[in-house]
Amino acid sequence: MARVILVHGAFCNSGVWGDDFLRDLRERGHTLEVIDLPGHGKDSTPKADVTLQAYADRVARQVRSSSEPAVLVGHSMAGLVITQAADDILASGGTIDRLVYVAAVLPRNGKCQSDYTALPEGEGDGLRGGLDVSGDPKMATLKPGVAYPALFGHCEPETAVAAEAMLEPQVIRVLFAPVAITDDRPISRSFVVCSDDKAIPAPLQRRMAAETPGVKVVEMNSDHSPFLSHRDEFVDVIDALITE
């Protein structure tokens, strides 16, 4: 069984995965490590210090906290984070078991999230125009009525309401920060495409997965948050990917 580090996406914290999903995946025999990225959830890092590299460093520290190789599962924006963290670890002589991208950004060297969302395949992004931005550093919050259809559209109403209540401001410079990596390092990568995703449209997910050689792609008919909306199927998919 695998050691799995779960990395949440933008506007979120570690609570977004949901207790039921964590319980079900643990029952498959896996060891789960669920972290808050800097400035999110219970992490006390000041928002002024939040950067993509700070996110990646946090994940790398978690990986290095044990000698057992880890599977990194990144949701949404966390695709950037696990990509940078894994490259940093490999560059320093460390090891990673595999990377699993869930409706996530899978970048090439020098690319940032905004580079991909601006592509034609990103049309239909339900978050576009749905952000209020203010503060220093600039932080974005989701406007009322945006989160449910964009992030939790397949969820039961009570599940979506609870998940929406956990959302928090996001330092937006992270979304414009390019990764600095060596493309195509020898590491196993899988991508769970969510075909009814209204945050990162499925055509964009497929394009990103296709741009990196050797990525195994599995598709689910899901919204952006399959761990909440299609939990049983998602547990089966993740279990299969991390144990193959």
For residue range 45-66, what is the model confidence (pLDDT) as tens digits?
Answer: 999 999 999 999 999 999 999 9
- Domains, in order of start, for the chain: 3-243 (3.40.50.1820)
Nearest to 109 by CA among 204, 191, 186, 212: 212
What is the dihedral angle through the alpha carbons of 69, 74, 79, 81, rounded to the nearest 10 degrees? -60
> Which string of DSSP letters, residue by residue, matches 110-157?
T--HHHHHTSGGGTT-TTTT-EEEETTTTEEEEPTTTHHHHH-TTS-H
pLDDT, mean over the chain = 96
Per-residue pLDDT of the chain (244 residues; tens, 9 = 90+): 899 999 999 999 999 999 999 999 999 999 999 999 999 999 999 999 999 999 999 999 999 999 999 999 999 999 999 999 999 999 999 999 999 999 999 999 999 999 999 999 998 888 888 999 999 999 999 999 999 999 999 999 999 999 999 999 999 999 999 999 999 999 999 999 999 999 999 999 999 999 999 999 999 999 999 999 999 999 999 999 998 8
Which among 130, 60, 45, 46 is positioned nearest to 93, based on CA atoms?
60
Cβ within 8 Å of residue 23, ≥6 positions away: none
Distance CA 184, CA 196 (A): 28
CB 51 within 8 A of CB 177: yes
Q: What is the pLDDT of residue 128?
A: 83
Tokens linked to 216: 């195994």
Longest dimension (CA), the chain: 46
